[in-house]
Structure 1
Amino acid sequence: MSPRPERTSVVITTYNWPGALRLALSALSRQVVLPHEVVVADDGSGEETHALIRQVARDYPVPLRHSWIEDRGFRAALARNRAIAATSGDYVLLLDGDMVAHPMFVADHRRAAQRGSFVQGMRVLADANGSERLLAGEKQALGFFDRGLARRRHTLRIPPLAALALRVSRGQSRRGIKTCNQAWWRGDLLAINGFDERFEGWGREDSDLALRAFHAGLQRRSLRFAGLATHLYHFERHEAGESRNERLLTETLQTGRVRSVAGLDRHLAEFAANPLPDLRTAGKS
């Protein structure tokens, strides 16, 4: 059996939705097994989000770091790469800032970690009503019998079924690939050079990451009935028709590319020389 990760870093993306980010960060602070650190991958949010992160950091239980890039449209690939480069753990959990993690989220992902693979988690989908209840503080989490949910089965945490799903799901399918709930050995992300920052605008940067991992010989394992996280409702924009991102993905498929053309290695030296500060202590004497 592969050894479990020693240090788990959570990279959580955000863009101008501080209410959701507050819930997501709070859920991570209540983990039964705390992560080694949390790094916010900020795709250009304004001062309200900056202020929220500083406020939350005051009594956060683990190092909380903030990686920010200028707002020049949807650049999630770049935002995530910079945050990953700033991590110090050996295992990286990718989570979106509108995902509210179950208290066993980190523990379940640590248990699922296995060399030679990455882990694809699932989403509990809250509808508009359920999301409003969470954002209003009416509840910390929505369970199987609560109103306001879709994909209700994903609220069920059943560790024996999760272990079975992990054993039988090894493969290289791109179906359902979403970086809102994924786990990677940091060394594997370095080997494939992280996300390809040429992907700008909505979509396909996550599929490209997985495809290059497959080209490198990594397997995808699906985590069901564990590693739970609830996705807050919002309008999701899907671009129809041919796009530059689709063409880039096709290029990766046809060439068998493993390393991204513009990726993670752009940022490693910067954070090696100047690590992102732990905001719990930043500014204190």
Structure 2
Amino acid sequence: MQSDLKASVIISTYNQPEWLELVLHSYGIQTEMDFEIIIADDGSDERTKRVIDKFSAESKLNVTYVWQKDEGFQKTKILNKAILASNADYLIFTDGDCIAREDFVKTHLSLKRKNNALSGGYFKLTKKISNSITKDIISEQKCFDRDWLLAKGQPKTFKLNKLTTSDFKSRFLNAITPTKATFDGMNVSCYKSDILAVNGFDERMQYGGEDREVGERMMNNGIKFLQVRYSAICVHLHHDRPYRNTEAEVLNQQIRATTKREKAKWTVFGIKT
């Protein structure tokens, strides 16, 4: 069932309740609040549910919690379930370790276009700064402030431009960046009908390019990806990736190669199996 909501924000998570609490707070203070949140949980324990329940009780946002049993890295499966649970016709995908700037949802909605998807990025915080982030710091938007980050020890690099608040500068950098516009699950948006048209994520795929592959099928189906990495801003909290699996990554590469070679627009291993 579709609704008059402007967007469904789908947030993937797995056993990072402290990070998720901060991320949810960032969505509770967006300048555009006409959206719902769908939590796509790949098997977290009760700590995560407690965080979600607390946020739901305190927030005006509608939050839907979609959970599946922990059977290893099965993010593609839980994302497909989250897509089906969403109520808006426009979807914004992100991760439970990416804190959204207060204009994040508004920016995605203002830049959306028919027959297009929006490809964003993130700015990686150091481990030390990640561990110092609080709800107050997010409310004051300090973690998106270049000078505050530099004062806290964030390295001074060109990537700080990802935090620009200048519309002219962001449009210029989006236009000249050599980074391709792709489906990067931490910051991407599209019409629900466009991802359903390719049958969602390929559920054979584990960590390593599983999000890129659904985007490649969408491109084969006529959807153009637009670069918004300097416009739709989020910061990424530091963490390790114990779920990396070389064998799974090889399989993912084979699936993506087939998608490219056959110009595939559909997977039989998706939402409709």
Q: Work out whether the TM-score is over 0.5.
A: yes
Residues 218-244 of structure 1: CA distance to partner in whole angstroms, max 9, x if unpaired?
111110332110100012355457621
Secondary structure (helix, strand or coil) at the match of 2:222 reads coil
Identify the residue that residue 264 of structure 2 maps to in structure 1: 257
Out of 186, 192, 205, the residue aligned to residue 186 of structure 1 is 192
Q: Does the 8 Å contact 1:24/1:98 carry over to 2? A: yes
1:91 positional shift:
0.6
Spell out, residue by residue over 1:41-89, the C-alpha distance to the aligned partner (whole angstroms, 9 max, x if none).
Answer: 0000001111111111102121011000110000111111100111010
1:210 alignment partner, one of 200, 206, 215: 215
Do residues 235 (structure 1) and 226 (structure 2) align?
no
Deviations for 1:122-155, whole angstroms, at most 9, x for unmatched residues? 2011010110111x55622411112354632211
- Aligned CA distance change for structure 1 residues 183 and 170 (closer, same or farther; 3 Å): farther
Shift in CA distance, 224/161, structure 1 to aligned 2, threshold 3 Å = farther
Q: Displacement of 1:265 after TM fit? A: 3.3
- 2:117 is the alignment partner of 1:109: no
CA distance in 1, matches of 2:170, 2:34: 21
Q: Which amino acid aligns with 1:244?
A: L
Q: Deviations over 1:175-222 (max 9, x none)?
A: 66421000011110111111111113x112111111101111111111
Distance, in Å, in 1 between the alignment partners of 2:13 and 2:105 is 19
- Cα-to-partner distance string for 1:238-273 (whole Å, 9 max, x where unaligned): 54576211111111111111012221235xxxxxxx
Name the count of aligned residue pairs: 258
In the alignment, the residues of structure 1 paired with residue 191 and residue 182 of structure 2 have an alpha-carbon distance, to the nearest angstrom, of: 20
User: Contact conserved, 2:119 with 2:181, CA < 8 A, in 1?
Assistant: no
Does residue 144 in structure 1 map to residue 131 in structure 2?
no
Instruction: Please name the residue that 1:156 is paired with.
Output: 164
The two structures have a TM-score, normalised by structure 1, of: 0.84
Change in Cα spacing, 1:122 to 1:247, as seen in structure 2 (3 Å) is: same
Instruction: Give ranges in structure 2 of 5+ residues lacking alignment.
Output: none
Cα root mean square deviation, aligned? 2.3
Deviation at 1:158, TM superposition (A): 1.7
Judge conservation of contact 2:40–2:65 (CA < 8 Å) in 1.
Answer: yes
Q: Show the counterpart of 1:12.
A: 11
> Quick one: which amino acid aligns to residue 180 of structure 1?
M
Q: Using a 3 Å threshold, how does the CA distance of structure 1 residues 53 and 89 change in structure 2: closer, same or farther?
A: same
The structure whose residues are more often helix, as a share, is 2
- Seen in structure 2, the aligned counterparts of structure 1 residues 92 and 177 have a Cα distance that, compared at 3 Å, is closer
